[in-house]
Amino acid sequence: MNKLYVVGIGPGAYEKMTIEAANALKNSDVIIGYTVYVDLVKEHFSGKEFLTTPMKKEVDRCVMAFEEAMKGKTVSMICSGDAGVYGMSGLMYEIGVKYPEVELEIIPGVTAATGGAAVLGAPLIHDFCLISLSDLLTPWEKIEARLLNAAKADFVICLYNPSSKKRHDYLQKACDLMMQHQSPETVCGIVGNIGRDGEHMQVMTLKELRDTKVDMFTTVFIGNSQTMNIQGKMVTPRGYKNV
C-alpha cells in the first residue's frame, strides 16, 4: 500500500519536532505543505522534492498529496503544530475515501497550546478548552456560546486565531464575554512566534488583555479562577483541594 504521512512539525524550530516526525520526513520522497511551513523544514531535509500550495488551498493540497502517493512515492503532508488540531488530518480522511489504495498515518506534534504554555509557565495544568476565534467556517454565534459556557464552567481557555485584518476586534469581544463570568483580574497570557525567531510572551490581567493588540501568530491564554501570576509566569494549580 502507498504510504502517506500527515505530520505535525510542532511550533517551528526543528528541535521541537518529534523524532518520529523527523524520521517520516527523512523517509519521504515528497514533502508537501503550505509555503511557510515547507520553508521552516527545507534546510533539514535536503534532496527531497518539495511541493507547496498557498493558504486557503487546503483541498488542492490534500488532493496533490494523494495523487503523489498514487504515483508510488512516499509522501509527507506537513502541518505546523499538530496535524489534528485545526490541522489537515480531518480533511485528509474525508478526501481519502476516494483513494482506498493509500494508507494514511497521522504523526502527532506539539500544538501551539502546549508549546505556548511551556513559554508562559504552566497555564494548562487543569481542565481547559481550545477555541478558535476564526468565523470563516464556524458561525460567530457558535463561538460566542462556547466562550460563555467555557467561562461559566471555569475552564482555562486557549484561543487560536485570535485576530486577523478582518477580525481586528474579536479578541476584545471575546474578553467582554469572558468578563460576564470571570473576574477582570483573571490571570491571562499571550505568546507570539512560539518556537521561532522573535518569540515573546507577556502575562497580564483579563482587563488588560481586552485592550491588547495581537496578531495572527499569537496564542492567547485565559486562566481559571485559581490561576496565579508567580514571578511573571502564568501558573494554574492542579486542583481546587489542598492535598
Q: How far is CA 89 from the centre of its chain?
A: 13
86 binds its own copies (CB under 8 A): yes
Q: Is the Cβ of residue 30 or residue 85 nearer to its own copies in the bound state?
A: 85
- For residues 163 and 171, the answer to whether their CB atoms sit within 8 Å is yes
Looking at 25, 31, 41, 82, which residue binds its own copies (CB under 8 A)?
82
Identify which range of 61-69, 162-170, 209-217, 228-236 contacts its own copies by CB under 8 A: 228-236
- Site membership for its own copies, residue 235 (CB under 8 A): yes
Nearest Cα to Cα of residue 172 among 182, 181, 162, 164: 162
Q: Which three cell numbers stand for residue 193?
A: 512566534
Helices 58-70, 89-96: inter-axial angle, 10-degree rounding: 60
- Per CB under 8 A, contacts with its own copies among 110-129 are 110-111, 114-115, 117-119, 121-129
Q: Is 180 in the site for its own copies (CB under 8 A)?
A: no
| Cell numbers placing 54 | 498557498
Map the footprint of its own copies across residues 195-224, applying CB under 8 A.
Answer: none
The 3 state secondary structure assigned to 2-17 is EEEEEEECECCCHHHC
Minimal distance in Å, beta carbon 99 to its own copies? 12
Interaction between residue 183 and its own copies (CB under 8 A): no
DSSP-based three-state secondary structure for 175? helix
Given the complex with its own copies, which of 11 and 209 has the nearer CB atom? 11
Provide the residue count of the chain: 243
- With CB under 8 A as the contact rule, the residue among 14, 45, 50, 217 that binds its own copies is 14
CB of 17 to its own copies, least distance (A): 6
Mask for 144-163, x = binds its own copies (CB under 8 A): -xx-xxx-xxxx--------
Which cell numbers in the block locate residue 128? 481547559
